[in-house]
Structure 1
């Protein structure tokens, strides 16, 4: 793959759903569909919103290993990113990705204690397209 960041970034930016994984107490992977990341920094850092009270947050607090997967169904290609997921509750990050309609989920607004930010940091990935897969490192 010639330009990993451009190719992967294009796939990520064109998806409305992201699949995120966590590890449960028994060591098994758990997968969940989420709305696309609110913000990304290259293909290394991705920010999502979620409920602090969610099962997933509790899993990340115990074991922050995670994967993201983005699937372009139209061209049957996809990208998996491996990394870590941090749970952020500070005002700076909460305000960074807050959007106007979020009060539908977080009634108390940006300071709602049940609102937090998931920050995924990738270190490597695997890209699939045209019946081939390719590993890559995220810088």
Structure 2
């Protein structure tokens, strides 16, 4: 007699996965955890090199794969999240199955294991592909994964916001809960860096429609001896060819509550080197440029 293969149901497979990870075997979980336990959980999250990421496929089954742990301090993306937050970023290919899964069900899990301890986070995921985010998470090591650079169209960014989790700590299972947020808490410095990246991208592509997103509606620019509305800069940008060879370095960022300042060095910007200085103001969750002054360096002889 032939027997049909015993295909595991989603719930069964989930229990097996969590059981192997060390959850579901420690008895009744605590309803709340101490501040020390949350600190230990965060310290655990940033330690592993890899994280196990789970999405739900079209048939309702979990699909688990190992991915680089971008919360590890070795990665640039670790700086995009406040030090005490559990949000996370990941990168993936544009044609991967996990993006198809997330398009139908944005629920995702991230499991961090180190020795006998395990941290499971559950939450929602956004898929991002804007140039500023790609540049913010980019590490040169990603070239080994087949990406040509931060502007590679295959490079997609996942932004994960946990809603709850479990942490196997001191011999027992503990439940974690996180405040509901529209998205992960991004550090103020990282948010300003993203605004600057948007400004630079406008120069690179020669499109004011990109650049405008970085500016406050009442922003002023000093391109000469007096202040002018930022629209003057936008008009000049649209009248020039794209500055595709432009590179930049953020020399300084200073933040106090909802106001900030930044100095940016631009290289090969329309064939010249510039130093730009910005004042910025926080509006909602974003930072906007309120004033820009620029210095063009003398040509090298």
Structure of higher CA gyration radius: 2
Preserved contact between residue 129 and residue 156 of structure 2 (Cα < 8 Å): yes
Shift of 1:57: 1.5
Q: Distance in 2 between matches of 1:96 and 1:14?
A: 21
Name the structure 2 match of 1:89: 129
TM-score computed with the length of structure 2 as normaliser: 0.43
Distance in structure 2 (CA, Å) of the matches to 1:68 and 1:43: 14
Secondary structure of 1:9's aligned partner: helix
Report whether the alignment pairs 1:2 with 2:42.
no
Q: For 2:118, what is the secondary structure of its paired residue? A: strand
Runs of at least 4 residues off by over 4 Å: none
- Match of 2:87? 45
* C-alpha separation in 1, matches of 2:86 and 2:123: 9
Structure 2 residue matching 1:111: 3-state secondary structure: coil
Paired with 1:46 and 1:12, the residues of 2 have a C-alpha distance of 10
**2: CA distance between counterparts of 1:118 and 1:66?**
10
Residue 15 of structure 1, aligned match among 23, 27, 48:
48
Is the 1:43–1:138 contact (alpha carbons within 8 Å) kept by the matching residues of 2? no
Q: Please state whether the residue corresponding to 2:142 is helix, strand or coil.
A: helix
1:20-35 alignment runs, 5 A limit? 20-35=53-68
Give the Cα–Cα distance (whole angstroms) in 1 for the partners of residues 126 and 109 of structure 2: 12
**Deviation at residue 101 of structure 1 after TM alignment:** 2.9
Report whether the alignment pairs 1:111 with 2:151. yes
Q: Take 1:6 and 1:119, find their aligned partners in 2: how far apart are those partners?
A: 22
Q: Secondary structure at the match of 1:110?
A: coil
RMSD over aligned Cα atoms: 1.5
Conservation of the 8 A alpha-carbon contact between 2:42 and 2:86: no
Determine the C-alpha separation between the residues in 1 that align with 2:134 and 2:119.
27
Residue 174 of structure 2 aligns to a residue whose secondary structure is strand
- Number of paired residues? 136
More RCO (CA 8 Å, sep 6+) = 1
Q: CA deviation at 1:102?
A: 2.3
Alignment partners' CA distance in 2, 1:98 and 1:126: 29
Structure 1: tracts of 5 or more residues without a match: none
- Contact 2:119–2:168 (CA under 8 A) maintained in structure 1: yes
Question: Aligned residue for 1:60?
Answer: 102
Q: Equivalents in 1 of 2:85, 2:121: separation in Å?
A: 9
